Amino acid sequence: MYGLCFHGKAKEIMVAHNHNISKILNTSTFLLPWEHKIIRNAFDKETVDSLLEVLHTVDWNNVSKDRFAEGIQAKFISQDFVELLPPSLAKDVLQELNGWATHELLLQHYNIDYSTGYEASLVFDWCQPNGSNDKHNDTGPRKDTLTLQYYLQIDDETRTLHLDDFDTRATSGDAVIFKSTPQAMHSFKAGKGNRFSLRLRIGTNILNQKIIQNKSNSKVGVLIDCKDMESNSLHELLEVNLGAVTYRNLIQNGFTNIVTFREREDYESARDLLKEHGVERILMVFAGATVDETTLARVYAAKHITAPIDNDEVLRQFVVFDTSDSDFDIVGDYLGNVKDKITHADMMDLGIALLHPDDESIDFLGEISEYMIPSTALEHKLSEYDKELAGIIKQRVGKIQYGEV
């Protein structure tokens, strides 16, 4: 028995001759340990064999290895790669799964807003005998993530996918699909033989300076600055990951009208977007910042251009300002052109807690970026003040509910 489930029939849509995506849509959703679908015999044996034949043509010596786990490689399947394949069942499936029609159908089925745009990646996964993946989620540098994994060959039945401690028993021809949340932890272990699969991952963009997210009629808006801090994190887009955490935390604490940006030149266009929407006051925070239930009221009450200052230097933590007077320098001498107008306030005066990525905090923030609660062992390099902030951040991230927003 796989746990509680509810049934929801999707409209029957024939997408391809050999692989009917409606089989996925019409499969029951199980609720334990968290929402997922297991599609038995998603591919018949002929289709599996055809896909394995294509997989074995890949030159794996020229495929990059996983940065987080040994013994795992993923071959990106581009449209060009598919077009060069001779006609086959595999080609039909790969064309379908690489198509926007399939992507949007799945996004709509899971009620995922993709107005900010989305990215999709289709890969062949090869997990060697030593390849394992400890408990993790698929949140990443995205607002919402949908993972669809087809299993083509698992030589060792002890290496099947586990959702928390639940064994899916998904084997050759089966598929598993789920919308990632911080709680959607899954894993598989090392063992004998090989483990081959086909994975489609669709992620909606958290980073889009041209879109107001969680839009409302409020006169307050937020800019999340996901500036690349050039850290040594294994996460290539650590600041974007952290920006997604900040986004969820802000929404849970009553904030709306949120715009994310990364490049310095995008500040003005992001600010103007909020201004044109009718926003009169902006809280700008850096990726990874968390707030509490009092922050919104404190932003309303703060004076125009409130920011932290230390030894005549404006700290890159947060700033509250009115859109009517917001021509700031954020490159070089940060806010230097308005320093004489700034009212000083510490982060915690507004209920804000933030750690910037550096050598001392990078491991701690790497786990925070995945909505995981770091152990105190990852705080040993932090100052006493930063340890206090780390404790606050852990409490807040632990409370994030990753529901519809």
Calpha distance 4→45 (Å, rounded): 29
Q: Which residues are registered as beta bridge partners of 4?
A: none
Tell the residue number behind the tokens 């927003």, with chain if given: 405
pLDDT at site 66: 73
Query: Taking a C-beta distance cutoff of 8 angstroms, is the pair 353, 368 a contact?
Result: no
Residue whose C-alpha is closest to residue 402's, from 147, 7, 137: 137
| 300 membership: H or E segment, kind and range | helix 295-301
pLDDT at site 13: 38
Please state the three-class secondary structure of 390-403 as a single string: HHHHHHHHHCCCCC
Query: Taking a C-beta distance cutoff of 8 angstroms, is the pair 220, 263 a contact?
Result: no
Structure pTM? Answer: 0.83
Calpha distance 40→125 (Å, rounded): 19
Calpha distance 328→349 (Å, rounded): 22
pLDDT at site 233: 60
- Would you give per-residue pLDDT tens digits along the chain (405 residues)? 323 433 333 333 334 444 568 889 899 999 999 999 999 999 999 999 999 999 999 999 888 877 666 788 999 999 999 999 999 999 999 999 999 999 999 999 999 989 888 999 999 999 988 877 778 888 877 889 999 999 999 998 888 999 999 999 999 999 999 999 888 888 888 888 899 999 999 999 888 999 999 999 999 999 999 988 777 665 668 899 999 999 999 999 999 999 999 998 899 999 999 999 999 999 999 999 999 999 999 999 999 999 999 998 999 999 999 999 998 888 888 998 999 999 999 999 999 999 988 889 999 999 898 888 889 999 989 999 999 999 999 999 999 876 544
**Superfamily (CATH) of domain 5-205:** q2cbj1_9rhob like domain (2.60.120.620)
| HSE (side-chain half, CA atoms, 13 Å) at 367 | 16
Q: Which residues are registered as beta bridge partners of 285?
A: 224, 318
Residue whose C-alpha is closest to residue 258's, from 228, 294, 299, 229: 299
Say which CATH class 220-398 falls into.
alpha beta
pLDDT at site 402: 61
pLDDT at site 333: 87
pLDDT at site 235: 64
CB within 8 Å of 108: residues ≥ 6 apart: none
- Domain limits of the chain? 5-205, 220-398
| 389 membership: H or E segment, kind and range | helix 384-398
